[in-house]
Amino acid sequence: MSIDNNHKENHDAERTLSNSHLAERSLGFGTIAIHHGQEPESVTGAVIPPIFLSTTFAQIPYVGHKGYEYSRSGNPTRDALEKAIAKLEGGKHGFLFSSGLGSTSTFFSIFPQGSEVIVCDDAYGGTLRYLNNVASKLNVVPKVADLTVPENIIPLITPDTKVIWLETPTNPTLKVIDISVISRLAKQNNPDILIVVDNTIMTPFFQNPLKHGADVVAHSVTKYINGHSDVVMGALVTSNEEIAAKLRYYQNAVGSVPSPFDCFLAHRGLKTLHLRMKKCEENAMKIAESLINSAMVKSVNYPGLESHPQHAIALKQQSGFGGMISFVIKGDKRHSQAFLNNLKLFCYGESLGGIESLIEVPAIMTHASVPEAQREKLGIIDTFIRISVGIEEAEDLLYDINFALKAAQNVK
Measured in residues, the chain has a length of 412
Q: Assess 326 for contact with ligand PLP (CB under 6 A).
A: no
3-state secondary structure of 386: strand
CB of 177 to ligand PLP, least distance (A): 13
Catalytic annotation on 4? Answer: no
Binding mask of the shown chain, residues 147 to 186, with x at each position contacting ligand PLP by CB under 6 A: --------------------x---x---------------
Which parts of 348-387 interact with ligand PLP (CB under 6 A)? Answer: 352
CB of 8 to ligand PLP, least distance (A): 41
Query: Which of 12, 68, 72, 406 is flagged as catalytic?
Result: 72
What DSSP string describes 158-209?
-TTEEEEEEESS-TTT-----HHHHHHHHHHH-TTPEEEEE-TTTHHHH--G
CB of 73 to ligand PLP, least distance (A): 22
Between strands 194-198 and 161-167, the pairing is parallel
CB of 326 to ligand PLP, least distance (A): 13
DSSP letter (8 states) at residue 155: G
237 forms beta bridges with 94, 217
CB of 274 to ligand PLP, least distance (A): 20
Catalytic annotation on 412? Answer: no
What b-and-e string marks burial along 305-323, b requiring 16 or more CB atoms within 10 Å of the CB? Answer: beebebbebbeebbebbbb
Of 1-9, 40-48, 216-224, 256-264: span binding ligand PLP (CB under 6 A): 216-224
Query: Which of 162, 223, 246, 276 is flagged as catalytic?
Result: 223
Q: Which of 306, 278, 281, 301 is nearest to 291 (CA)?
A: 301
**Closest residue by beta carbon to ligand PLP:** 100
CB atoms within 10 A of CB 353: 29
Catalytic annotation on 72? Answer: yes
d(CA 101, CA 233): 9
Which parts of 253-312 interact with ligand PLP (CB under 6 A)? Answer: none
Residues 6 or more apart whose Cβ sits within 8 Å of residue 182: 147, 150, 153, 164, 166, 195, 213
Binding mask of the shown chain, residues 97 to 136, with x at each position contacting ligand PLP by CB under 6 A: --xxx----------------------x-xx---------
Q: How many residues bind ligand PLP (CB under 6 A)?
A: 17
- Phi and psi angles of residue 134, each rounded to the nearest 5 degrees, phi first: -115, -60
Closer to ligand PLP by CB, 100 or 390: give it: 100
Closer to ligand PLP by CB, 71 or 220: give it: 220
Binding mask of the shown chain, residues 232 to 251, with x at each position contacting ligand PLP by CB under 6 A: x-x-----------------
Binding mask of the shown chain, residues 193 to 212, with x at each position contacting ligand PLP by CB under 6 A: -----x-xx-----------
d(CA 208, CA 201): 12
Long-range interactions of 125-128: CB distance < 8 A, separation 24+: 125/366, 125/367, 125/368, 125/369, 125/370, 126/100, 126/101, 126/369, 127/101, 127/165, 127/167, 127/198, 128/369, 128/370
Catalytic annotation on 406? Answer: no
Q: Assess 220 for contact with ligand PLP (CB under 6 A).
A: yes
Contact residues: ligand PLP, CB under 6 A: 99-101, 124, 126-127, 167, 171, 198, 200-201, 220, 222-223, 232, 234, 352
